[in-house]
Structure 1
Amino acid sequence: MLKIYSGRCHCGAVRFEADIDIAAGTTKCNCSICARMRLWSVQVAPEAFRLLDGESALADYRGGNAVAHHLFCRHCGIHPFEWVDVPNMSGSKYYNINVACLDGVDIDELVKAPVVYCDGANDDWGSVPVETRHL
C-alpha cells in the first residue's frame, strides 16, 4: 500500500518525504559502495520524492558508476538516499531511499517485502549475485 514516509539523516539536518509502497519490494546491491554501506533501499520515481530540508548539508559522492549520486549528510555522514540518472537500466531517473532512514516503518511489513538483489559488482545489474548473505 502506498504511504507517505518521512525520513532523515541521523542528525536531522537532511529531511525528506516520499510516497513508498514497501510491500512492492526492496533492493540490495553488491556493488562496492552499496555493500560497504549495507544499503537496503526502496526505489521511487522523482515525483514521489520531496527533499524538505538540508540540501546544503548534502555531499554528492560519485564512484565507479557515473550516473549514481550517493548523497550523504556532511554533518553526520549518513546516506539517507541517492539518485540515479540516465542512462541506466530503467531508462529514467530514480531515487533509492535508505529504508533505515525512514521514520515509522513497520518492521513486519519490511521483512515480509520481497528483496531484489543486484549484481552491481560485476556490472550485471539485472542478475542476482552468487552470494547475498552479507547484503
Structure 2
Amino acid sequence: MSDERQQHDAACHCGSVRFRVRLTDEFNTIRRCSCSYCRMRGAIAVSAQLSDIEFIQGEDKLTLYQFHTGTAKHYFCGTCGIYTHHQRRSKPSQFGVNVACIAGVSPFDFHEVQVMDGISHPSDSAAGPRVAGVLRFEPI
C-alpha cells in the first residue's frame, strides 16, 4: 500500500538540519499553544506521526530541551537555534513540526490559527484539549 500524502522538504534557518515530513492531515492541524514555553517560542506547529519524519542531514546537530513533566521533547538546531519540531506531550506518537521550517510555507500563510490551552494542558485533566483563542493575521 503506497502512502499518497505529500512529502514536504524542511530545514532550519542555517540549513544544518534538513528533513522530509509527511503531515497527518496536511495543514489542517495548525495550531499554537499558550503554555509557558510555546508563548515564548511563538511558532505555529502542524502534526506528523513519529515515523513520518526522515532526517536528510544534521540530526546530530539537534539539541533537546525538556521541562515540567519531561514528556514533550523540543528540538532545535544547535547552530542557528531555530525550533524544528517537538514530540508532543498530548500525543506522544506525534511530532509537532514548525511550519516555518517547511519549504515554501510561512506562518503568515494562515489567516487564522487556533491557540490551544497549554496552561491547562489536556494531559493534566480529563477535560481534553481546549481552544484558548484564535490568532489572526490580516495583511494591510
Does TM-score exceed 0.5, indicating one fold? yes
1:115 CA drift (Å): 3.7
Pairing 1:45-124 to 2, within 5 Å after superposition: 45-84=49-88, 88-90=89-91, 92-105=92-105, 110-111=109-110, 115-124=113-122
Amino acid at match of 1:126: P
1:119 CA drift (Å): 0.7
The answer to which structure has the higher helix fraction is 1
After the TM superposition, which segments of 4 or more aligned residues of structure 1 sit over 4 Å from their partners?
Answer: 131-134
How many equivalent pairs are there?
Answer: 127
Q: TM-score, normalised by structure 2?
A: 0.77
Q: Distance in 2 between matches of 1:35 and 1:132?
A: 14
Conservation of the 8 A alpha-carbon contact between 2:45 and 2:96: yes
Q: Distance in 1 between matches of 2:82 and 2:65?
A: 12
Amino acid at match of 2:110: V
Deviations 1:100-120 (A, max 9, x none): 111023889x426x7443211
Against the structure 1 CA distance between its residues 24 and 30, is the aligned structure 2 distance closer, same or farther, given a 3 Å change threshold?
A: same
Unmatched 5+ stretches in structure 2: 123-127
Please report the RMSD computed on the Cα atoms of aligned residues, expressed in angstroms. 2.6
SS of the residue corresponding to residue 79 of structure 2 reads coil
Amino acid at match of 1:127: R
Deviations 1:33-66 (A, max 9, x none): 1111112010111122112111211110001241
Which structure ranks higher in relative contact order (CA pairs < 8 Å, sequence separation ≥ 6)? 1
Q: TM-score, normalised by structure 1?
A: 0.80
Larger radius of gyration: 2
Conservation of the 8 A alpha-carbon contact between 2:114 and 2:135: no
Unmatched 5+ stretches in structure 1: none
Identity %: 27
Conservation of the 8 A alpha-carbon contact between 1:26 and 1:116: yes
1:4 CA drift (Å): 1.1
